[in-house]
Structure 1
Amino acid sequence: MANSTYIKRVSINGWVMLILLTLLLLISLLTVFKAPTYHLWLLAIAASEFPLIFSGITGLLLIACIWLQKYQLICIIIGFLALGFFLSPVVRAYTVAAAVKTEFNSAFGQGSTIIKGDNSQPAFSFFKLFKHSSKSVAYKTLVYDDAEKLTLDYYPAQFGGKRPCIIVVHGGSWSSGDSRQLPELNSYLAAEGYHVASINYRLAPQYQAPLALDDVNQAFAYLRRNAGQLHIDINNFVLLGRSAGAQIALLSAYSQHQHGLKGVINFYGPADMVWGYSKPANKLVMDSRAVMERYLGGTYNAMPDKYFKSSPIEFVNQHTVPTLSIHGDNDVLVSPIHSQKLDVKLQQYGVKHFYLNLPWATHGFDYNINGPGGQLSTYVVERFINVVCRH
């Protein structure tokens, strides 16, 4: 009787193990295939940028398979498949890292990847996956537009003297988000000797384009007026934007001709609003047409000229500032074709630029600054700022 109960318990555990490992395998596929729904997109960020957590869980279940009497072989096969997929971003990150230094040097000149005379820092390290985020740098919130009550979070450089300033424009479909979004990179750059001003701007649908562009102009003006007390080198600004904020940053950089602006960094932004409207995202992930209509005030058919004037790609010319674009192939909110098209246009006009393509990554991959996408993007961001601001 006792032996029968034991066999039944082992059989039940076999079923449970089979179900758990199958679920992990399905999750692991998000590191290879695009997420079909909004919530699975969020899970895809976790699966691809926190690979050690999911690999560790899978590994523990594989070890437990040793004691299974039923479904052992199928559980082991499924478990190893899931483990392989979960670790695939790490393997592919090493592949990208092996080429990025050479390609970046080719784009910006030999030695462009060297920071402070140190050429030893790798673009990606497996051991850094275990590391927690860098120590936070204390910021202060400043009002940069009294009329609109707009604020920015100012992270002072941790080196003395006048330093370059990075202006960060947050994402959020032009209708949400704020200056506190993904602050780890702000602290990292401040620790490396750059001031960072992460700005808030007026949001849709209450405020529509081009008001956000005006807000960026106001931020520039405020930082210039107060450059003395903030210790800013007004000849060395860089714009950085994520997603919708990248569209604003690119458009500002390409159309506003800001004095002292040395470059712009585009994290997975919509560079071609006309093309983007014609090829919307999967509605189960995001209704991208509705998002654009709230921001621009109507459909493309109703106001094609406004979509055209909101497309950064249309303003590229031979005088365009150096550009860094970073995009994941599995992005389901903003297609990587935006960055690919921008890359081609910049090349046509001979603009110095670099496009970091991350084959496994989805939208928001830089949520974990020490993940595969976070490490590689931070590596090229720091080097891009260094090379454009040192002249």
Structure 2
Amino acid sequence: MDFVDLEPEIPDSIQVSRDIVYKETDQRSLKLDIYKDEFLVEPAPVIIFIHGGSWTTGGKEDYLIYCLAYAQKGYVTASLSYRFSQEAIFPAAVEDIICGIRWIKAHASEYGIDSSKVALVGGSAGGHLAMLAAYTADESYFASGCDENAVSTAVQAIVNIYGPSDLTTDFAVAQGATPKFMGATYDVNPDIYKVASPITYITPDDPPTLTLHGTIDKIVPITQSDFLDKALITNDVIHEYHRLKGWSHTMDASVPVNEYAQKVMTRFFNEWLNGDD
């Protein structure tokens, strides 16, 4: 099987702003990277990527392949770091993502961004955080402690790549990463697991959502996306659900799935962010 190059060379035409501090925490400075085509003239939609890693590992460089691909398609792209479970338990990570969204919107004019056209993309734990931030946008569920608290966190589109949507299920509860993320076992504090589940917050006014998930995923079982699909249907939220038969977790590291993912994501962004091919 062929795999994508996760550390592609950055084209000369792509301007990169690295390690921009968007939030100071007691644990560390949280940073983001921004990518844009040097010939971009008009403000463009921004796609914000949130890496996975069981809420305990990973880095903002993990989605470089996507950041470059979509910067070359005429979008501004960004990738965020956030605090891990071993640094600060829930809701720290989602509060960080909310602050990142606010920072990017507040500084949109500096980076050629149209702040009215924002998409979140996350894989695995990053998909969970993307959904949680998007489905609770402009609500007071999570006190984010941002410098830009007056800025709206509403986004126009979400891409969830094999992210968990319901942390109250038996499988999610049994995963070692989940209680570490929550800071408590389900038996001790079941209510907080519901609070941390994106499907808790789905309402008819939520943004269009695209989900991709492999049918033999043993890390985040596809039932998590089945639950999400059902909740989105029940609430009449515009969405696409792609169940990829015979594929497992991190399936988009393979060339065929990555190409397929970019194809459907590009179509999705063109429709909901008014981007260019």
Q: TM-score, normalised by structure 2?
A: 0.86
Q: Which of 281, 291, 295 pairs up with 2:181?
A: 295
RMSD: 2.1
- Cα deviation for residue 138 of structure 1 reads 4.8
Where does structure 1 lack aligned partners over 5 or more consecutive residues?
A: 1-46, 51-128, 282-287
1:329 alignment partner in structure 2: 215
Q: Which of 16, 25, 31 pairs up with 1:139?
A: 16
Alignment of 1:383 with 2:260, yes or no, is no
- Cα deviation for residue 133 of structure 1 reads 6.4
Secondary structure of 2:156 counterpart: strand
Distance, in Å, in 1 between the alignment partners of 2:176 and 2:265 is 31
Within 5 Å, which residues of 2 pair with 1:85-96? none
Q: Which of 224, 249, 272 pairs up with 2:166?
A: 272
Q: 1:326-350 deviations in whole A, cap 9, x for unaligned? A: 0011211100111111111111111
Alignment of 1:198 with 2:79, yes or no, is yes
Q: Say which one has the larger Rg.
A: 1
Within 5 Å, which residues of 2 pair with 1:331-350? 331-350=217-236
Within 5 Å, which residues of 2 pair with 1:67-216? 136=11, 137-141=14-18, 142-147=20-25, 148-157=28-37, 159-216=40-97
Alignment of 1:374 with 2:258, yes or no, is yes
Q: Go from structure 1 to structure 2 and tell me whether the alpha carbon gap of 1:157 and 1:262 turns closer, same or farther (over 3 Å shift).
A: farther
Secondary structure of 1:175 counterpart: coil
Q: Any conservation in 1 of the 2:218–2:249 contact (CA below 8 Å)?
A: yes
Distance, in Å, in 2 between the alignment partners of 1:149 and 1:259 is 21
Distance, in Å, in 1 between the alignment partners of 2:154 and 2:98 is 13
Distance, in Å, in 2 between the alignment partners of 1:200 and 1:193 is 23
Distance, in Å, in 2 between the alignment partners of 1:140 and 1:254 is 28
Q: Any conservation in 1 of the 2:98–2:153 contact (CA below 8 Å)?
A: no
Q: Any conservation in 2 of the 1:234–1:260 contact (CA below 8 Å)?
A: no
Identity %: 29
Distance, in Å, in 2 between the alignment partners of 1:236 and 1:157 is 17
- Cα deviation for residue 389 of structure 1 reads 1.2
Q: Go from structure 1 to structure 2 and tell me whether the alpha carbon gap of 1:143 and 1:238 turns closer, same or farther (over 3 Å shift).
A: same
2:191 alignment partner in structure 1: 305
Q: Go from structure 1 to structure 2 and tell me whether the alpha carbon gap of 1:135 and 1:178 turns closer, same or farther (over 3 Å shift).
A: closer
Secondary structure of 1:181 counterpart: helix
Q: TM-score, normalised by structure 1?
A: 0.62
Residue type matched to 1:316 in 2?
I
Distance, in Å, in 2 between the alignment partners of 1:213 and 1:177 is 15
Q: 1:172-230 deviations in whole A, cap 9, x for unaligned? A: 00010010113111100000011111000011122111111111121122112211111
Distance, in Å, in 2 between the alignment partners of 1:341 and 1:300 is 19
Secondary structure of 1:218 counterpart: helix
Alignment of 1:218 with 2:121, yes or no, is no
Q: Which structure has greater strand proportion? A: 2
- Cα deviation for residue 260 of structure 1 reads 4.8
Q: Which structure has greater helix proportion? A: 1
Secondary structure of 1:237 counterpart: strand
Q: Which of 232, 235, 238 pairs up with 1:352?
A: 238
Distance, in Å, in 2 between the alignment partners of 1:260 and 1:237 is 8
Q: Any conservation in 1 of the 2:172–2:178 contact (CA below 8 Å)?
A: no
1:320 alignment partner in structure 2: 206
Distance, in Å, in 2 between the alignment partners of 1:251 and 1:355 is 18
Q: Any conservation in 2 of the 1:150–1:201 contact (CA below 8 Å)?
A: yes
